[in-house]
Structure 1
Amino acid sequence: MKSKIVICIFLLSITIASLGCSSQSDGSQESSQLNDTKNEIAGDLKDIEGTWMGNLTAPGGLELRIVFNISTNSDGSINASMDSPDQGVSGIPVESVSYKDGNLNLGVKSIKGSFEGIYKENNKTIEGEWKQAGSAFPLVLERVEKVPEMHREQDPVKPYPYTEEEVVYENKEAGVKLAGTLTLPQSEGPFPAVILITGSGQQNRNEEIAGHRPFLVLSDYLTRQGIAVLRVDDRGIGGSTGNFSQATTEDFAGDVLTGVEYLKNRKEIDPGRIGLIGHSEGGLIAPMVAVKSPDVAFIVLMAGQGITGEEISYLQSDLIYRAEGVDNETIAHNEALLRRMYSVVKEEQNNTAAEEKLREILKAEMANTSEQKIESSDHSEAVIDAQVTALTSPWMRFFLTYDPRPTLMKVKCPVLAINGEKDLQVPPEENLKAIDEALKAGGNKDYTVKELPGLNHLFQTAKTGFPSEYSKIEETISPAALEIIGNWISEHTQ
């Protein structure tokens, strides 16, 4: 049996952007000139000079383009940088380059990543692996004259018919500064307003993923409808400060509460008509904030969670593996592995003891998996370390056990909950049912629950809903989904 040993969580970003690179990069991050770092060249530099691009398939099937830019100076020194265009990240320094006998090694220390490949003279490609945080992914690079631009027709083009303002405010309790963009209609205020809340994983204010900027599109649509919109960088990314890796969903709820207070003090905003729109994990956060603050007038849950993270993880794993064509035996084995590891996380509160038990489970799993036996012991240890770190993080401990239903029962403001029919990350049937039942049980008098046909987790019109489709679909958000959200908010802010 070949177990994948993958912890399947509905993260909306891959680690390239979340391990220290700002996806708000504007090119100010200079490429690395390799004079005093590792720089071993024994081969024709013309082989590796230029722009190289390949497609990386991450866990869950999400595909991302990876680009390396390699050039030489007149003194023989080398400039190298890395881009992740589908995440809006560019100019990541490549701190070390080694090219010897056709073997290329690129070290990207800032995100704990590296590429090792072999130059193939016959087809002028570099075939190898991208390694990061203990995982390895096949990556074939091809030389390109220019990185093709993704055509995203829904992305708004300046000048906008509304006002756009960069803002910064502080969550004093957490000691975190939050940076974002506030868009204001040009008509006469005060306006109704919404705060957009990103999904899991470290996201920037546009919630960039797979070449899409869904929060930019949503913000543009709503502002044109007369609704002010605040979208904000998560802790530790873009213009925001703070340690994202040590924060939980509850901590992020505190950041949103601070945003509500900020909007209340803006003269352009009607303090009685401030709402929240949360996507994925943001749909978990919005009800928390609504219960804590009477100033929240309404909430919209886009692919919001109605059951525990542990329950979602099993459902998500099953759906995505089946979409990949994985056999039933392997799916059952992977679920059993997840259950063993989650039991440790839930029952062992001491991190040192939990880490030791998890390592034992993962080492035994690798020893029984022929696919893993061929890998070096160093790499196996790195894989284990990455999995253990993820499992014992404060976020994961909270995510697995938090049940949103008791909080949803306390939400008294109007609620719109929508999911895409083809969502494989937050399955609509189980989650919408749980949300509906909780709101009904709590006596909420004004809520709407809808499953939107043909849409995926990002609310794109999709064929399968598989994450690998995200970047291939031109549409960022279905116009039907935008209209439902816009009309519902308008009805509740008249």
Structure 2
Amino acid sequence: MYETLTEIELAAPAADGVPLAGTLTLPAGPGPHAAVLCLPGSGKLDRNSDTAKLRMDLGRPLAEKLARHGLASFRYDRRGVGATPGDWHTVGFLDNRADAAAALQAVRTHPAVHGRPVGVLGHSEGAVHAMWLAAHAQATAAVLLAGYARPGEAAVRWQGTRLAAAAPRLVRPLLPVLRRAASKQLARLAASTTDATRVGGVRVNAKWWREQLAYDPRADLSRIRVPVLAVTGEKDVQVDPADLDVIAGLVPGARVHRIPGLTHLLRRTDGPGTVFAYRELLRRPVEDDLMTGVAQWLAERLG
């Protein structure tokens, strides 16, 4: 079905020399090709936005859709994941951003792309890094899938509120205690000084949390002067769909879409879309019409 596509293993060198192992997917026909850098959400994610326990299965279907619209794309394993070396537990939020910038430069200079426009597409945390790249690294266009537009701590607390609202009835009497415990843990992570720490006996990426909680993407959004498409699902419980209004207000000419029934996992549901439904939702593919719309929009601006 995909015999006209070409996949190339590419190790994009990070600023410190770490090879970010990934896949450069090329469309049919002679190059060089316009291209898209694809950035995943938060967590220990590989190039397909998968973890060991949960398969988002976004990377390859999206790359194939972009190729069918004449666009190359690059996606890579995070540090300490898949074929990229490193310790994922010690990598910061800003390290992820720096790696994204290095990957963007590697795509730009690859012979199959060199001289053609390169856009960025990010999901969740990746969307926030895409905002920075659009504002500071001369990305030609940016697609923001479920990207938040408020300080990181505010975004996390909004998530917590939605999670609490969907908690099973038997757990609800414990919510005040759980909220206080969560607030203490956030304060502890914000005040931490090490790259990693232990919370409840579990090793946690303290540097990532510290930097993410403090980061406010609104300054970057206000500096963007390239085309932006922002999409958030109406049933997203991890990113407030109302942040689309903030993006529209800060980015001149931005196109924003709040899609009915769409969840943070980029699948639609007739239910509430809570995290308790994620395993069931992940049995279905990412919405094809969403990927098609995104690919068409990028092709019109990069092709």
Task: Using structure 2 for the length normalisation, give the TM-score.
Answer: 0.89
2:259 to 452, 456, 461: 452
| 1:28 corresponding residue in structure 2 | none
* Letter matched to residue 291 of structure 1: A
Q: Report the identity percentage.
A: 28
| 1:133 corresponding residue in structure 2 | none
Where 1:397 maps in the other structure, the secondary structure is helix
* Letter matched to residue 207 of structure 1: S
Structure ranking higher on relative contact order (CA contacts 8 Å, 6+ apart) = 2
* Letter matched to residue 426 of structure 1: V
> What pairs up with 1:177-196 in 2 under 5 angstroms?
177-196=19-38
Please state how far the C-alpha of 1:470 moved relative to its aligned partner. Answer: 3.1
| 1:20 corresponding residue in structure 2 | none
Distance 1:408 1:425 in 2: 20
User: 2:243 aligned with 1:437, yes or no?
Assistant: no
| 2:4 corresponding residue in structure 1 | 161
User: 2:153 aligned with 1:310, yes or no?
Assistant: yes
- CA pair 307-332 structure 1, distance change in 2 beyond 3 A: farther
Contact 1:263–1:271, Cα closer than 8 Å, also in 2: no
- CA pair 249-350 structure 1, distance change in 2 beyond 3 A: closer
User: 2:80 aligned with 1:236, yes or no?
Assistant: yes
Contact 1:196–1:229, Cα closer than 8 Å, also in 2: yes
Please state how far the C-alpha of 1:394 moved relative to its aligned partner. Answer: 0.5
User: 2:57 aligned with 1:213, yes or no?
Assistant: yes
> What pairs up with 1:46-445 in 2 under 5 angstroms?
159-171=2-14, 173-208=15-50, 210-269=54-113, 271-294=115-138, 296-326=139-169, 330-346=174-190, 348=191, 350=193, 384-386=200-202, 389-390=203-204, 393-429=206-242, 431-439=243-251, 444=252
Count of paired positions: 297
Distance 1:396 1:383 in 2: 12
Deviations 1:395-424 (A, max 9, x none): 010111111111111122111111111111
Please state how far the C-alpha of 1:160 moved relative to its aligned partner. Answer: 3.0
Distance 2:142 2:164 in 1: 32
* Letter matched to residue 246 of structure 2: A
Where 2:42 maps in the other structure, the secondary structure is coil
User: 2:278 aligned with 1:465, yes or no?
Assistant: no
* Letter matched to residue 4 of structure 2: P
Please state how far the C-alpha of 1:216 moved relative to its aligned partner. Answer: 1.2
Distance 2:220 2:60 in 1: 29
Contact 1:212–1:471, Cα closer than 8 Å, also in 2: no
| 1:492 corresponding residue in structure 2 | 301
Larger Cα Rg: Structure 1 or Structure 2?
A: 1
Distance 1:270 1:465 in 2: 41
Contact 2:56–2:265, Cα closer than 8 Å, also in 1: no
Distance 1:438 1:211 in 2: 33
Where 2:238 maps in the other structure, the secondary structure is coil
Distance 1:321 1:331 in 2: 7
Contact 2:236–2:263, Cα closer than 8 Å, also in 1: yes
| 1:476 corresponding residue in structure 2 | 285
Please state how far the C-alpha of 1:349 moved relative to its aligned partner. Answer: 5.2
**TM-align CA RMSD:** 2.3
Please state how far the C-alpha of 1:383 moved relative to its aligned partner. Answer: 6.1
Unaligned stretches of 5+ residues in structure 1 = 1-156, 356-381
Please state how far the C-alpha of 1:167 moved relative to its aligned partner. Answer: 1.2
Where 1:324 maps in the other structure, the secondary structure is coil
Q: Which runs of 4+ in 1 moved over 4 A?
A: 326-329, 349-352
Please state how far the C-alpha of 1:479 moved relative to its aligned partner. Answer: 1.8
Unaligned stretches of 5+ residues in structure 2 = none
* Letter matched to residue 103 of structure 2: G
Distance 1:169 1:211 in 2: 24
Please state how far the C-alpha of 1:329 moved relative to its aligned partner. Answer: 5.4
Contact 1:175–1:242, Cα closer than 8 Å, also in 2: no
Task: Using structure 1 for the length normalisation, give the TM-score.
Answer: 0.56
